[in-house]
Homo-oligomer: A and B are copies of this chain.
Amino acid sequence: MTSVAIVYHSGYGHTKAIAEAVNKGVASVAGVTVHFMSVADADTQWETLAKADAIIFGAPTYMGSASAPMKAFMDATSKVWFTMGWKDKIAAGFTVSSAQSGDKLSTLNQFVTFAMQHGMIWIGTGMMPGNSNSKGSVDDLNRIGSATGLMSQANADQGVEGIAASDFKTAEVFGARVAQFAVKNAA
């Protein structure tokens, strides 16, 4: 079995909901076991992470970069970094904020830089942008138009019900893509 871990932080539940949709996409791929963990639990999961073939990182974008609890987890991985313990694992990322664009790319780039320090291999959405021509709409896959990782948008004054159905669907497709590549790479 190929092992894919999802490590996320969620402040108000939006990122957790997107993480679950990513999880669903990963789990839909034959031959894959998913390990789903909040950064609050990650501290007990170093062995699971050490054995993972791929790790997907997710966090809300707060003030233009990954949330502080996510960053605390990232800093804690420096022990792994010293031994290059995650070298050549697959990495991917997702982020959520209330703005449509709203510096989400900054968070995804932060994840790329982090993964590169670990010697990991980065995979993005592989999707064309949705909602980018006169026939498009917010119902399109990848409606925000992101390539480096998954971008989702959640209204600031709502709970999970304020996230578009297309964002959940995009998250599933994204999760499946990462898992398929992890299976291929682990072969």
Please give the residue numbers on chain A whose beta carbons come within 8 Å of chain B beta carbons, in ascending order. Answer: 62-68, 71-72, 74-75, 77-78, 81, 84, 87-88, 97-106, 109-110, 112-114, 116-117, 119, 121-129, 131-136, 143-148, 151, 153, 155-158, 162, 181, 184-185, 187
Contacts and interface: CB of A to CB of B under 8 A. Distances in A.
A101 B104 contact: yes
A64 to B, nearest CB: 4
A74 to B, nearest CB: 5
Nearest to A131: B100
Contacts of A88: 126, 181
Give the oligomeric copy count. 4
A75 B62 contact: yes
B145 A158 contact: no
A180 B135 CA distance: 39
Contact of A148 (B65, B112, B132): B112
A158 B78 CA distance: 18
Contacts of A116: 64, 122, 124-125, 147-148
22 contacts: A62-B74, A63-B117, A64-B116, A64-B147, A65-B66, A68-B71, A68-B75, A71-B71, A72-B72, A98-B133, A100-B101, A100-B132, A101-B144, A102-B145, A103-B113, A103-B148, A106-B113, A109-B112, A116-B124, A116-B148, A119-B125, A133-B155
